[in-house]
Structure 1
Amino acid sequence: MGIFTRFREIINSNINAMLDNAEDPEKLIKLMIREIEDTLVEIKSSCAGVIAARKKVERYLEEVRIREQEWNDRAKLAVKKGRDDLAREALMEKRNYTERAESLEKEVKEHGDLTEQYQDDIRQLEDKLKTAREKQRMLVQRHIRARRKKRVQEEIRRIDTSQTLAKFDELENRIERMEAEADLVNFGRKSTLEEEFDKLGLDDEIEKELQALKSPLEKKE
């Protein structure tokens, strides 16, 4: 199991705790990103420590290899001088350094494997952090829109109440009453055009009556 996997368990535990507390969505997203960032810093620090330790072992291995070669050269010199006893002692020392070098090479490889694991974990975590930040941007926008929509719906519900509708009905009745009163002001009054035609009819009647009065007088004459 990689280092990131272990840290991820910690992150999930903390996030679940935040969800249980019903935190504000924007605050929750920020905390989640903070958890990832903190984990990333810790993993990078651990990786740097392993790399430093590997370099230290590599330097020690180089020194051991040098000492191994020195004892090999001494064994050759002893053989050349006919000192097999010294050659055996030199070869024993060489073997000690050879065994130590093999152990150090194994340690260097283990440090290398661990470094690769750390680096892989770091890449995964950086990808997740990038994704989380992008989601943060989208989720914050959605949260803002949701809050605005909620306020609008609340305002609509506030307006759409029986009390409010009753006020609209009252206002409508008042306007209808004012319109009716305006119509009554001119009720029974004829328009100017109608009055003119009525005058024409009245003039004809007057003329007829006048002629009727004048006719007997005209016959007498």
Structure 2
Amino acid sequence: MGIFSRMSDIINSNISALLDQAEDPEKLIRLIIQEMEDTLVEVRSSSARVLADRKAATRRVEQLQAEADSWEQKAKLAISKGREDLARAALQEKREIEEELEAVSTELAATDEHIAQLNDEIGKLQAKLNDAKAKKKALVMRTQTVESRIKVKRQVNRDALDQAFGRFEHFERRMDNLESQLEVMDMGKDVAPSLAAEINALEQDEKITAELDRLKAELGGGESSKDA
């Protein structure tokens, strides 16, 4: 089933309104254009047949007019020869031909009106078809623009995410470095002292003890002098 039921539906259609109501405007505009093109082919075919009929009718009019003129000449000849009876018969033939000529002429006039109507309809249909094709082009460009914007937006979001992840990774590396520095500063604190270190500590302890004893002795000697 087509979108339009008759020629007037196409001519009076509001393509923009149809597209606004469609779930898939791009698909609908393709169908509209296809139906318009099919209808245009049909109308042009009908026009070709009507034009052919008009040519046949025109030839018939010319033929009948020639016959009517011929019978009139025969009637004149009969009168000039004093044969009024033959003149009447010739005029009767002419009258019958003129009646047919009138009918064919009326048919030809109607055909001309039909051709004018078809020509007008073809012009309007062609205008509608051009309008539909322009809307299709605009719709395709709009779709491409939207798709490009979506692609760019996705790329921007992707770049923003990449930058965020990059900053996070940089922060993690800094934290790793700081933690490593702290670990280095604590290195050796929990390691048992070596033998040389223990002996050295004992020597230091003996020196401190000897120095302490010396000081005590000096202090003790000083106090004895004061008592004496």
For this structure pair, what is the TM-score category when the shorter chain's length is used for normalisation?
0.5 to 0.7
Post-superposition offset of 1:111: 0.8
Match of 2:225 in 1: none
Amino acid at match of 1:86: L
Structure 1 match to 2:54: 54
1:174 lines up with 2:175 in the alignment: no
Task: Report whether the alignment pairs 1:64 with 2:64.
Answer: yes
Identify the residue that residue 132 of structure 1 maps to in structure 2.
132
Secondary structure in 1 aligned to 2:94? helix
1:78 is matched with which residue? Answer: 78
1:184-210: CA deviation from partner (whole Å, max 9, x where unpaired): 5898xxxxxxxxxxxxxxxxxxxxxxx
- Which amino acid in 1 is paired with 2:175? R
Q: 1:102 to 1:157 in 2, by over 3 A?
A: same
Greater RCO (CA < 8 Å, at least 6 residues apart): 1
Aligned equivalents of 2:22, 2:91: Cα separation in 1: 70
Structure 1, unpaired ranges of 5+? 188-221
- Structure possessing the higher radius of gyration over alpha carbons: 2
Map 1:95-114 to 2 at 5 A: 95-114=95-114
Q: TM-score, normalised on structure 1?
A: 0.64
Shift of 1:130: 2.2
**Which one-letter code corresponds to 2:41 in the other structure?**
V
Give the Cα–Cα distance (whole angstroms) in 1 for the partners of residues 46 and 96 of structure 2.
Answer: 32
Aligned equivalent of 2:211: none
Q: Structure 2: how far apart are the matches of 1:63 and 1:99?
A: 13
Superposed CA RMSD in Å reads 3.8
Distance 2:27 2:182 in 1: 66
Give the 3-state SS of the residue equivalent to 2:50 in structure 1: helix
Moved more, 148-157 or 172-181: 148-157
SS in structure 2 at match of 1:112: helix
Aligned length: 180
DSSP-derived class of the 1:82 partner: coil
SS, match of residue 123 in structure 1: helix
| Partner Cα distance (2:132, 2:48) in 1 | 25
- Cα deviation, residue 96, structure 1: 0.9
What TM-score, normalized to structure 2? 0.62
Any runs of at least 4 consecutive aligned residues in structure 1 with deviations exceeding 4 A, and if so which? Answer: 15-21, 150-161, 166-173, 182-187
1:177 maps to amino acid = M
Once the two structures are superposed, what CA deviation does each residue of 1:53-109 show, in whole Å capped at 9, x if it has no partner?
000011111111111111111111111111112211111111111111111111111
The percent identity for this pair of structures is 35
Q: Is the 8 A contact 2:22 2:28 kept in 1?
A: no
d(CA) in 1 for partners of 2:108, 2:159: 75
